[in-house]
């Protein structure tokens, strides 16, 4: 696990500041070497890094379902990069402003060679504080990028008033209450907030979000994209829970962008932790319940047109 190369996916609508962030990452004195996969050459002013051009070729695998799309060009590039192992410590993938992050993320789970060699570290989305609200209305891609993010960098805050900033933050939270959110000017923030997040590592879901099992997020609602969080004060029955979660993600997979959860199984000293991207689910028992800790279970889904009532009832019905 540890010797897999971490990959950070950088998304963001056109003009939000992706290239600024990328240049900041590359120029900071961190002593690390990056291989950078970009869409267009020329904007990056770095010459001692390994920079590779990509074509964003989205391929369907198997049955042609949206959940089984991958980035064919990424598979090819990573195959080539792995021959130069040792020349770089991490990979950054910059997507175009109009890209859906799902095929990029799915590439790291669907392709065996890629998942053997590299691990998705986090999806980082740069958003323009002034224009994001408008884009969320007219650009489905912008909404996907916010919904998908593990880290959101709300950039250009100097161009908006405090009220406008609060409003755009509320919009972001309505779509994705769980991502780490940073307010920046010129994408200025400590690089550690962007890289080495381990957002897809089951081990770290608990570490990053120690309060995951605590209720406490406000629930705003975007008209179309929503997050649903259901908590159960107690344990779930794995014989009921596993078929339920697997059926839900199979049936609703196209609408579920991300999901994660921590649940308690009876007589299991460890927590069961899972996370998913569309139809792809990854789960395992991780980390002991602490002595005296309340064994509770919680699942969250971020998606489009989800049936909140059915999901809540379905989850609660798996109680042990």
DSSP code per residue over 128-180: ETTTHHHHHHH-HHHHHHHHH-SEEEEE-GGGS-HHHHHHHHHHHHHH-SSSE
Q: How far is CA 16 from CA 75, 103, 124, 157, 181, in A?
A: 27, 21, 12, 11, 15
Q: How far is CA 111 from CA 60, 76, 202, 234, in A?
A: 12, 11, 19, 36
Q: Is 6 left (phi over 0), alpha (psi -120 to 50) or beta?
A: beta
Question: In the block, which residue shows the tokens 């990959």?
Answer: 7
Taking the least distance from each CB to other proteins, the nearer of 71 and 135 is 71
**Secondary element (H or E) of residue 14:** none
| Least distance between other proteins and beta carbon 187 (Å) | 25
| Least distance between other proteins and beta carbon 53 (Å) | 5
| Least distance between other proteins and beta carbon 50 (Å) | 8
Strands (DSSP E) found in the chain: 5-12, 34-38, 50-53, 58-60, 69-71, 90-94, 118-128, 151-155, 180-183, 225-232, 256-263, 270-277, 280-288, 297-304
CB 296 within 8 A of CB 264: yes
Question: In the block, which residue shows the tokens 């950039």?
Answer: 155
How far is 240 from 320, CA to CA, in rounded Å? 8
Taking the least distance from each CB to other proteins, the nearer of 95 and 229 is 95
| Least distance between other proteins and beta carbon 59 (Å) | 5
Residue 209, strand partner residues = none
| Least distance between other proteins and beta carbon 275 (Å) | 24
Taking the least distance from each CB to other proteins, the nearer of 70 and 136 is 70
> Rule CB under 8 A: which residues touch other proteins?
41, 52-53, 55, 57, 59-62, 64, 70, 72-73, 75-77, 80, 83-85, 111-113
How far is 275 from 314, CA to CA, in rounded Å? 18
| Least distance between other proteins and beta carbon 84 (Å) | 5
| Least distance between other proteins and beta carbon 97 (Å) | 20
Taking the least distance from each CB to other proteins, the nearer of 69 and 155 is 69
Taking the least distance from each CB to other proteins, the nearer of 79 and 233 is 79
Taking the least distance from each CB to other proteins, the nearer of 53 and 243 is 53
Could you tell me how far CA 228 lies from the centroid of its own chain?
Answer: 16
| Least distance between other proteins and beta carbon 14 (Å) | 21
φ, ψ at 155 (rounded to 5°)? -100, 165
Taking the least distance from each CB to other proteins, the nearer of 39 and 286 is 39
Taking the least distance from each CB to other proteins, the nearer of 73 and 252 is 73
């Amino acid at each position: 696990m540890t010797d897999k190369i971490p990959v950070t996916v950088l998304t963001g609508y056109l003009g939000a500041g992706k290239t600024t962030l990328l240049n900041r990452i590359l120029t900071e004195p961190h002593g690390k070497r990056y291989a950078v996969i970009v869409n267009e050459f020329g904007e990056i002013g770095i010459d001692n890094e390994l920079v590779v051009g990509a074509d964003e070729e989205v391929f369907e695998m198997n049955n042609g379902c949206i959940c089984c799309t991958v980035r064919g060009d990424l598979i090819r590039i990573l195959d080539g990069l792995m021959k130069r192992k040792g020349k770089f410590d991490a990979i950054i993938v910059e997507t175009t402003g109009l890209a859906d992050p799902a095929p990029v993320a799915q590439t790291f789970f669907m392709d065996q060679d890629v998942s053997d060699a590299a691990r998705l570290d986090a999806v980082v989305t740069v958003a323009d504080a002034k224009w994001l609200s408008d884009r969320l209305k007219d650009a489905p891609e912008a909404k996907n990028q916010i919904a998908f993010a593990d880290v959101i960098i709300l950039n250009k805050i100097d161009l908006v008033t405090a009220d406008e900033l609060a409003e755009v933050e509320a919009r972001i939270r309505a779509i994705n209450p769980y991502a780490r959110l940073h307010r920046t000017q010129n994408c200025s923030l400590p690089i550690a907030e962007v890289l080495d997040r381990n957002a897809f590592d089951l081990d770290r879901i608990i570490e990053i979000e120690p309060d995951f099992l605590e209720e406490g997020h406000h629930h705003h609602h975007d008209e179309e994209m929503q997050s649903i969080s259901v908590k159960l004060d107690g344990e779930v029955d794995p014989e009921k829970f596993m078929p339920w979660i697997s059926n839900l993600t199979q049936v609703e997979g196209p609408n579920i962008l991300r999901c994660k959860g921590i649940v308690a199984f009876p007589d299991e000293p460890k927590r069961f932790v899972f996370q998913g991207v569309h139809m792809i689910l990854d789960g395992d028992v991780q980390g002991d319940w602490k002595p005296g800790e309340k064994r509770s279970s919680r699942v969250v889904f971020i998606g489009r047109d989800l049936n909140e009532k059915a999901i809540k009832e379905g989850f609660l019905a798996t109680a042990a």
